[in-house]
Each structure stands twice: as C-alpha cells, then as structure tokens.
Homo-oligomer: A and B are copies of this chain.
C-alpha cells in the first residue's frame, strides 16, 4: 500500500523539492496551498504549475487573512540576511499551526496517512514554528486530535537549504518555476532574506 500524503505546498523551492522527494519515495501525494492574503501570493501560481507538471492534485484554501507580519502588509519587508534580528518581522503569527491544522483536517476527511511540510534547519533561527520542538508538539497533537492518527512528516527538518537545493537538483526540480521572494513583485527583489538565502543555497549546487 502506497502511503497517502497531503503536502503543504507554498510554491517555494523547499516545499517543491519536498513534493519531488515524496514522489521519489513512492508516496501518493496531494498538495494543499494557502491563500492568507500574503504579499507574495504569486507563489500560489508556482504551486499550481508545479502540480500540473507532476500530475499532483492541488487545492488552494482561502483562509482568513493572517496579520501582524511584514509578509502580510503590516510591516515593511526587511532586507538583508536571515540571521538578522529584523527578520523576525517576517514571522506570520502561528501561520504554520494554522496550515497544519487545516491540512490535518483535510487529510483525516480524505483518509490520508500523513501530512508533510518543508520546514528545515535554516529556518530555525527566525521561525519558531519550524523548529524540532514545535514539530514534536504538533506531531503529538496530530496523534491525539481524532479517532484516526495522522502522522506529520518533516524529512527536511535537520537539513539546511543548501542540502535541499542539492537534493532538488538531483531530482530535477524545475527551480525556475518556484517562487521565493517575500516582496511578491514581478521579479525576485534579490534583497530580502528569502532571496539572499535562496541564492546562497543555489550556489552550493555547483560548489558540491
């Protein structure tokens, strides 16, 4: 029996690589994206195109606007490196729990085995809801929330973004279709933390 896995897909390089990674592992994958009126909503088009390419069923859930972050027009997008204090402005309060809760609800209703999301080690410094302790608490909640236990898969939890880029290259992920930039303009800004981190990760593909 193939594992049935519902993937939270932003359309960025991490979750897109995770999609290819799960397919490579033999999972039957469906994908769920979230429209929370994020500044970089254009990532949803990337998610859609990646799913079309891979023949993965895809749904975009419109959820109430999440507030209180640079990614939701409440603050300016800070420029620079992820390690900087200013990057905390890009934390959307409790965003990952909201997405995980909806995903688990959908997964239970559809009889799936797992929910997967692409948190990774590079996010730990700035995003509390990408850390191992948070994942452990949510895994426990997933195990207890319903009559059917849902597993939470986070295979990139201990990887850095360079490792994801290299795995993606190996799997021939069409990175050119993915969207990373927080500004959400026509072209990536190249200056926000997400752009800077992506460029650093991509640089390790050829260096490896």
Contacts and interface: CB of A to CB of B under 8 A. Distances in A.
Interface in A79-95: 88, 91-95
Contacts of A141: 97, 134, 137-138, 141
Given A133-B144, A134-B144, A94 B98 contact: no
Interface in A103-146: 104-106, 108-109, 128-129, 131, 133-134, 137-138, 140-141, 143-146
A167 to B, nearest CB: 27
Interface of A is mostly: helix
Contact of A96 (B97, B134, B145, B147): B145
B88 A94 contact: no
Contacts of A64: 61-63, 102
A109 B68 contact: yes
A95 B100 contact: no
Nearest to A140: B137
A66 interface: yes
Nearest to A138: B141
23 contacts: A62-B64, A63-B102, A68-B109, A88-B147, A91-B147, A93-B104, A93-B109, A94-B101, A97-B101, A97-B105, A97-B145, A101-B102, A128-B144, A129-B144, A129-B146, A131-B144, A133-B144, A134-B144, A137-B140, A137-B141, A137-B143, A138-B141, A141-B141
A61 B65 CA distance: 10
Contacts of A66: 105, 109
B128 A67 contact: no
A104 B109 contact: no
Given A68-B109, A93-B109, A101-B98, A147 B134 contact: no
A67 B108 CA distance: 9
